[in-house]
Amino acid sequence: MIDKIFSNLTRFSALLILVIVAWIFVELYNQSLEAINAFGFDFITKDEWAPNVDKFGAYAAIFGSVASTFLAMLFAIPIAIGVAIFLSEIAHDKIKGFFGVSVELLAAIPSVIYGMWGLFYFVPIIRDLFGGMGIGLLSAGIVLSIMILPFMAAVTRDAMNTTPDILKESAYALGGTQWDVIKDVIIPYARAGIIGSIILALGRAIGETMAVTFVMGNVHHTPSAITDPTTSIPVTLANEFAEADSSLYFSSLFELALLLLAMSFVVIAIAKFYFLRKERRGV
């Protein structure tokens, strides 16, 4: 009797997570119906965002999300791979330990603090170097890249570490340099894991809100230069959700949320199931 209750309780809790996820999609879709009916595809192709006349086109926000994520990946990927190589092939154990702790430290810092640091310390540098306001796409991309770097480096290192030592030793025995071993043994062996890690970091970067909200500007305007202030989906949501005053405005914001969720869901699913599946099941 108690046995039945307990097992049903656990089953109910487990199913709850599926229900919540489905519910999130359905609810966001229902809430965005008004905007979908009003604008159709114009919502994602027009960049006129004018709450005063109830006109909403999210092109600038979508573009900002994609562009800032792209910039972040551009900066973060080479450095993360460099760090991963350093950690798995070059560093001594002590340095590895120190680095491991540092990565944990960075992961413990809430993203809102990256944003504050970016606003007060990094934006002025960009302003001095490139002119303009300093707040904009470039700052957002760089702050975002710093934010995802530790995660990306850590998972890339883990992927590289799965290479069996015996393969590496065989290559060294043939006279390979460390670089030969890295490029001809480790990278081919861990390729799926490395790509998966990078895509997973990308999935997180798209949805990251607080680190970029400070430094992006929230201007609904497709930028013509990389230092122009612009906006992204999460930045728009963070700035405008609590202030929206018409039902169409709300509906448009919900449609943005739905788009964001769909984008990151697809990206994360690709990373997890296409590239990282093998390793997980292998354990």
Residues of this chain, 161-180, that bind another protein according to CB under 8 A: 177-180
User: And the tokens for 182?
Assistant: 């890295």
Contact call for residue 157 and another protein (CB under 8 A)? no
User: And the tokens for 105?
Assistant: 């430290």
Minimum distance between the CB of residue 266 and another protein, rounded to whole angstroms?
A: 10
Which lies closer to another protein via its Cβ, residue 4 or residue 53? 4
Minimum distance between the CB of residue 224 and another protein, rounded to whole angstroms?
A: 25
Instruction: Please tell me the distance from the alpha carbon of residue 85 to that of residue 166, in angstroms, as a whole number.
Output: 18
- The binder of another protein chosen from 93, 94, 121, 128 (CB under 8 A): 121
Closest to 240 in 3D by CA, of 24, 42, 58, 45: 58
Contact call for residue 274 and another protein (CB under 8 A)? no
Minimum distance between the CB of residue 219 and another protein, rounded to whole angstroms?
A: 15
- The binder of another protein chosen from 33, 50, 74, 90 (CB under 8 A): 90
Stretch that binds another protein, among 44-52, 85-93, 126-134, 221-229 (CB under 8 A): 85-93
Contact call for residue 125 and another protein (CB under 8 A)? no
60 DSSP assignment: H
Stretch that binds another protein, among 100-108, 166-174, 185-193, 223-231 (CB under 8 A): 100-108
Neighbours of 55 (CB within 10 A): 15
- DSSP tally for the chain: helices H, then strands E: 14, 2
Stretch that binds another protein, among 15-23, 46-54, 129-137, 162-170 (CB under 8 A): 15-23
Minimum distance between the CB of residue 131 and another protein, rounded to whole angstroms?
A: 22
230 DSSP assignment: B
User: And the tokens for 222?
Assistant: 């497709």
CB-based contact 102:175 (threshold 8 Å): no
Instruction: Please tell me the distance from the alpha carbon of residue 108 to that of residue 118, in angstroms, as a whole number.
Output: 17
Stretch that binds another protein, among 55-63, 117-125, 131-139, 158-166 (CB under 8 A): 117-125
The region that residue 222 occupies, defined by phi over 0 for left and psi between -120 and 50 for alpha, beta otherwise, is beta
Give the footprint of another protein on residues 205-264 (CB under 8 A). 206-210, 213-214, 234, 237-238, 241-242, 253-254, 257, 260-261, 264
Positions of E strands within the chain: 49-50, 55-56
Question: Helix-strand-coil percent breakdown of the chain, rounded to 5?
Answer: 80, 0, 15
Which lies closer to another protein via its Cβ, residue 107 or residue 129? 107
Closest to 159 in 3D by CA, of 192, 119, 207: 192
User: And the tokens for 183?
Assistant: 């490029």
Minimum distance between the CB of residue 66 and another protein, rounded to whole angstroms?
A: 14
Contact call for residue 67 and another protein (CB under 8 A)? no
- The binder of another protein chosen from 59, 117, 130, 172 (CB under 8 A): 117
Give the footprint of another protein on residues 35-54 (CB under 8 A). none
